[in-house]
Amino acid sequence: SPEPTLAIGGQSRPEAAMTGDSVSKTPFLVTGLPRTRSAWLAAALTDDGDRCCFHEPAGTFPTYEAFRDWLVAPNEVHVGAADHAIGFVAARLLQDIRPRILLVERPFGEAAQSFERYMAGIKIDVVAVIEFMTRLQGCLDELSGPLVYRIKYRDLDNPKRLKAALRWLVPGIDLE
C-alpha cells in the first residue's frame, strides 16, 4: 500500500525523512476525546524550524506498526501527532517508543455535544459514535505514568497551565 503523504516543509513525510540531518528526538503526542482542540494544539506545536505536529495522521496508516515506524523514522524535524485515535494505541506506544503524551481531558458529555454540533446536518449513527467515544474514554482513563501529562480542557484557556503542559511535552519549546 502507498506511503501516506503528509507535508513537512513542502515535502511528504517519507521524503523528508530521507533528507538532511536526522533529529533523534522521541515523538510527542496529543490525544483525548474528539473535539478537544487537537487541530489547534497541532498548529501551536508546529514551528517553521525543527518541529512539526501532524493533525490526525493515525488513520492514514494501514497498521499500528506502520504508524509507530513513521513516528520514529529519522527526520529533519522533531515529529509529533495530535489525534484522538492515538488514545486507542497510546498504552502500546508508551511501551514501544516511550513518547511523551499530553492527554486533554474534556468531560464526556461536553465532547459528545460538541461533536453533535460539529456534525449538524450530516447523518451519523449517534449510537455508534457514543460507543466509539465510550471505548476511547476507557483507553484514556487507563493511561498513566511519568510520560503522561493530563490537562483539563478548560485549562487550555489558562496561559500559565497551557504553557506548563506544552513545556513538559516538548522540553525547550520557545513559547514567547
Q: What is the pLDDT of residues 111-137, one digit of tens each?
A: 888 887 887 778 878 788 889 999 999
- Beta-sheet strands, E only, within 39-153: 51-55, 78-82, 100-105, 148-152
| pLDDT value at 67 more than 80 | yes
Which residues on adjacent β-strands are paired with residue 148?
A: 101
Instruction: Among 45-49, 56-60, 71-75, name the most confident range.
Output: 56-60
Residue 16 pLDDT > 80: no
Helix (H) or strand (E) holding 31: strand 28-32
Task: Kindly report, residue by residue over 18-27, the tens digit of the pLDDT.
Answer: 333 444 488 9
Whether the predicted pLDDT of 7 surpasses 90: no
Helix (H) / strand (E) containing 108: helix 108-118
Q: Give the residue from 31, 32, 29 showing the smallest Cα distance to 111.
A: 32
Mean pLDDT within 48-52: 84
- What's this model's pTM, rounded to 2 decimal places? 0.83
In contact, 23 and 9? CB cutoff 8 Å: no
Q: In whole angstroms, how large is the CA radius of gyration of the chain? A: 16
Query: Residue 5: its pLDDT value, please?
Result: 38
Task: Give me 55's grid cell.
Answer: 493533525
Are 12 and 6 a contacting pair, CB within 8 Å? yes
- The torsion region of residue 137 among left (phi > 0), alpha (psi -120 to 50) and beta comes to alpha
